[in-house]
Chain A
Amino acid sequence: MRGTYRKAVVAEAAIPPSNEASPLVTDLLAFIARARGSEEDFNVLALRLFAHQFQHNLAFQKFCQQRGRTPRTVRRWQDIPAVPINAFKDLTLSCLPPEACERVFMTSGTTRGDVKGRHYHPHLRVYDLSMTLNFRARFMVGQERMRMGILFPNEQLMPHSSLAHYLALALHEFGTPDSRYYLGADGLLVDDLVATLRQVQSSGEPFALLGASYSFVHLMDALQARGLQFQLPAGSRLLDTGGFKGQSREMAMDEFYGALSQTFGVPRSACINMYGMTELSTQFYDAGNAVLPAVKSGPHWIRTRVVDPLTGQDVPPGERGILAHTDLGNFNSVTTILTEDVGVAVEGGFLLLGRAQGAQAKGCSLAVDEFLKANRV
Chain B
Amino acid sequence: MKIHAAYLPGLNAAELPQHTLSFGEDAQRVDVAVPQLTPAQLSALAAHVRARGGAQLKAMPVSQIIAAIDCAIERLLNAADPYRLELELLLPRITGFDAEMVRLGLNAYLKTFRAPQLQRFVAEDFANPKLLDEFQPVPKGGMARAYGPELLVHVWAGNVPGLPLWSLVCGLLVKAPAVGKVASAEPLFAPLFARLLAEVEPRLAEALAVVWFKGGDTASERALFGEADVVLAYGGNDTLHALRAQVPITTRFLPHGHKLSVGLVSAAALDAQQVQAVARAAALDVVRYEQQGCYSPHTFYVARGGRVTPREFAQALAGQLAALEHKFARRDLSLEEAASVTAWRQAQELRSFAGHPVELLGDADASWVVAYSDQADALQPCALHRTVQVQAVEQLRDAVPLLAAQRAYLQTVGIAAAPHELHALAGPLGEAGATRLCALGQMTAPEAGWHHDGRYSLLDLVRIVELEASAEAAAEQYAPYRD
Residues of A within 8 A of B (CB): 59, 62-63, 66-67, 84, 86-87, 90-91, 308-312, 320-322, 338, 340, 342, 356-371, 373-374
Contact = CB atoms under 8 A, between A and B. Distances in A.
Interface string B325-361: 0000000011111111111101101110110000000
A338 B342 CA distance: 11
B92 to A, nearest CB: 14
A86 B238 contact: no
A370 B346 contact: no
User: 7 closest A-B pairs (Cβ-Cβ)?
Assistant: A363-B292, A359-B336, A356-B339, A309-B342, A90-B350, A366-B258, A364-B294
A86 B353 contact: no
Contacts of B17: none
B338 A308 contact: yes
B343 A84 contact: yes
A365 B291 CA distance: 7
Contacts of A340: 339, 343
Given A364-B163, A364-B258, A364-B292, A359 B339 contact: yes
Contact of B335 (A87, A321, A362, A374): A321
15 contacts: A63-B349, A340-B339, A357-B339, A360-B236, A363-B289, A364-B294, A365-B293, A365-B296, A365-B381, A366-B236, A366-B259, A366-B294, A367-B384, A368-B340, A368-B383
Contacts of A362: 95, 158-159, 185, 292
Contacts of B237: 370, 374
B384 A364 contact: no
A300 B333 CA distance: 34
B353 A63 contact: yes
B365 interface: yes
A63 B347 CA distance: 12
Nearest to B380: A371
Interface residues of B, number: 52
Contacts of B95: 362
A373 B347 CA distance: 17
A360 B157 CA distance: 11
Contacts of B236: 360-361, 366-367, 370
B135 interface: no
A314 to B, nearest CB: 14
Interface string B207-247: 00000000000000000000000000011111000000000
B293 A356 contact: no
A356 B335 contact: yes
Nearest to A312: B364
A366 B409 contact: yes
B382 interface: yes
Contacts of B75: none
Contacts of B293: 363-365
B160 interface: yes
A365 to B, nearest CB: 5
Interface of B: 95, 157-160, 163, 185, 234-238, 256, 258-261, 289-294, 296, 298, 333-344, 346-347, 349-351, 353-354, 364-365, 380-384, 409
A29 to B, nearest CB: 31
B381 A310 contact: no
Nearest to A354: B336
Contacts of A312: 364
Given A342-B339, A356-B335, A356-B340, 5 more contacts: A67-B364, A90-B347, A359-B334, A363-B384, A365-B384
Nearest to A92: B354
A362 B215 CA distance: 13
Nearest to B354: A90
Contacts of B234: 364
Contacts of A357: 339
Contacts of B159: 362-363
A124 to B, nearest CB: 27
Contacts of A63: 349, 353
B292 A90 contact: no
A361 to B, nearest CB: 6
A354 to B, nearest CB: 10
B259 A86 contact: no
Nearest to B350: A90
A356 B163 CA distance: 27
Interface centre among A309, A311, A356, A374 (most CB of B within 10 A): A309
A124 B337 CA distance: 37
B338 A361 contact: no
Contacts of B160: 363-364
A359 B337 contact: yes
B335 A322 contact: yes
A361 B380 contact: no
Interface centre among A62, A308, A312, A365 (most CB of B within 10 A): A365
A23 B408 CA distance: 57
A361 B351 CA distance: 24
Nearest to A320: B335
Contact of A84 (B259, B298, B346): B346
- Name the residue in A84, A321, A322, A366 with the highest tally of chain B Cβ atoms < 10 Å from its Cβ: A366
Contacts of B354: 59, 90-91
Nearest to B158: A363
A310 B338 CA distance: 6
Contacts of B157: 364
Contacts of A370: 236-238, 258
A84 B337 CA distance: 16
Contacts of B289: 363
B455 to A, nearest CB: 15
Nearest to B292: A363
A211 to B, nearest CB: 29
A90 B355 CA distance: 10
Contacts of A365: 258-261, 291-294, 296, 298, 381, 384
Nearest to B410: A366
Contacts of B364: 67, 310-312
B292 to A, nearest CB: 3
Nearest to B185: A362
Contacts of A371: 260, 380-381, 409
A59 B350 CA distance: 9
A310 B341 contact: yes
Most chain B beta-carbon contacts within 10 A, residue among A59, A320, A364, A370: A364
B259 A364 contact: yes
A216 B74 CA distance: 61
A361 B384 contact: yes
Given A362-B185, A365-B259, A367-B384, A342 B349 contact: no
B220 to A, nearest CB: 20
